[in-house]
Amino acid sequence: MSEPFTLGETFDGALLANAPRVRLSRRGIIMGLASGSVFPFLTGCSTNLATGESQFLLFGDDQIAGMAATAWSDMKAQTPQTSNTQLKNRVLNVWDRTIKGAAKTGHVNPNDQWDVAVFDTDDVNAFVMPGNRVGVYRGITELTENDDQISSVLGHETGHVVGKHAAERMSVSTAAQVGLMAGQIAVASSEELSKYGTAIGALGGAALQFGVILPYSRKHELQADKLGVDYMHQAGYDVKQSVRLWELMDAQSKGQRPPEFMSTHPDPARRADELRTYINARGYALI
């Protein structure tokens, strides 16, 4: 039996807490492998047109959208949404401006429909699920000091969608599990999967988690941070506030974090540094 998989790419990079879990059964994966239906894209990597990077994708967003629809409706059924209409409208207004900024880059279609919910919990986080579903927790809105920082959160979540991070994370996890089950993963012609295959063969389960899956998640977080800043810039928000937000996140989470190598999160101070470097390099501002 494969591990349950949590759908939802978060702001801080942690696995989404309290999210409904989806499970691909071992039998389902093996039968799908045999029929070719689980791995229709196994012959190689695809290039993400927005990021320009080669990605290992066994699934497209459309293939996991059904699971995400269930997870999202379960989430909405289980977690109360805010009754504070002022807060909800504020988030929706910032969302509207941020997504229009993202559309200016050509990374998202301006006609796409999005479902944005503000959940009434203390979690200092936000998340996005495949199918353009964005969740923001009241807790993170209370940490933020201005709309620019809220835009930074929403831009980051948009970045996860543009980067197809959910599909890639699920693809890598599934490939890893199939590799462990079958004892080999040499089915791939792609350089990336071969690399994982070697790592998986040499290391096994726990090391797979530390050596392959966690660094992968951290890479996605940093990419989403940078895409988010691009969208903020296009929307006319102050991109420097993304750095300030990560300084606030750092102060807020001091002493509660595992070492970076054991975590899906890049260290908040590192995220602030990487954003500062990126913002300077792009010429958005000098900080």
Q: Which residues bind Zn ion (CB under 5 A)?
A: 221, 224
Min CB(189)–Zn ion separation in Å:
30
In terms of CB distance, is 117 or 180 closer to Zn ion? Answer: 117
Nearest-angstrom CA–CA distance, 275 and 263: 20
Min CB(11)–Zn ion separation in Å:
5
In terms of CB distance, is 156 or 197 closer to Zn ion? Answer: 156
In terms of CB distance, is 134 or 208 closer to Zn ion? Answer: 134
Min CB(228)–Zn ion separation in Å:
9
Min CB(114)–Zn ion separation in Å:
17
Record the tokens describing residue 249, joined without a space.
Answer: 């996140």
In terms of CB distance, is 42 or 249 closer to Zn ion? Answer: 249
Min CB(169)–Zn ion separation in Å:
11
Min CB(135)–Zn ion separation in Å:
12
